[in-house]
Amino acid sequence: MLQTARLRRGVDRPRAGRTPRRQNSPLHIAYEQAGIAPPALVAVAAADIPPPYHALLVHEGEMTRTLEEHVGGRVGIRVLSTRARARLYVRRVLLVDEASGRPVAMGAVRLAIAALPRPVRAEVLGGRVPLGRLLRAAGLDFLSRPTGYLAVTPNPELMGLFWMTSPETLFGRTTTVLLGARKIGEIVEILPRV
C-alpha cells in the first residue's frame, strides 16, 4: 500500500494526498502477519509536515540518532514482531526513551539481512539495539534516504503503543536504507504525538 513500484526503486515519491496503493511495505507485512489491520496512511508533501514533526522527519539522517538528540538520551527497542524468510528480515519495533520508557517511534523494516556482515546480522536478529545505532557502531557506510512522508490515522493497537486516548493524526516517513550505494532495506517510521 505504501509504495508504488517506482517508489520501491527510489525513483519517485507518492503524490501528496493520495493513499498509497500497494500493501507490501514492511509496515503492512508486519501487521498482516500479526492479523491486525494497519493504521490508515496518506502520502503528504514534506512541506505539509507541521513542526515539531518536520524537524524530526524531514532530513537525510537516520532516525535513531535524531530521536536520541530529541529526547536528550538513548533510545531503547522493544521488538513487536519479526519475520525471517530466506535472505529477507522484517521486524516491527517500538523505540522508547530509555530514561522514561515513553514511546518515541514505531518502525517497521524490511531488510536484506544477508547484505550485512555476520556479526551485525546476529545483532540485528537479537533485537536488543536499534538498527541505526548498530550500523553506526559497526562503522558501516550507510544512509537512510527519505522516499516519502505520511499522515497517519492510528489504529487501536498503535494508539495503545503510543499511550493515546483518541485517534489524532500522526506523521511519519518512508526511507530506503543504503549500504554504500546498494539498497538493502526499507523502513516505515511513525512518530507519536510530540
What percentage of residues in the chain have a pLDDT greater than 90? 77
pLDDT at 21 over 70: no
pLDDT (tens digit, 9 = 90+) per residue, 163-194? Answer: 999 999 999 999 999 998 899 999 999 999 98
The CATH number of whichever domain residue 157 belongs to comes to: 3.40.1410.10
pLDDT at 23: 65
Domain coverage including residue 181: 5-191
The answer to whether the beta carbons of residues 123 and 137 sit under 8 Å apart is no
- In this prediction the pTM is 0.86
Q: How far is CA 148 from CA 59, 124, 172, 173, in A?
A: 11, 25, 9, 6
pLDDT (tens digit, 9 = 90+) per residue, 34-93? Answer: 889 999 999 999 999 999 999 999 998 889 999 999 999 999 999 999 998 878 899 999
pLDDT at 100 over 60: yes
State the DSSP H helix or E strand holding residue 144, giving kind and residue range, or none if neither: strand 142-153
pLDDT (tens digit, 9 = 90+) per residue, 105-159? Answer: 999 999 999 999 999 999 999 999 999 999 999 999 999 999 999 999 999 999 9
pLDDT at 15 over 80: no
Q: Which amino acid is at 112?
A: A
**Domain count along the chain:** 1
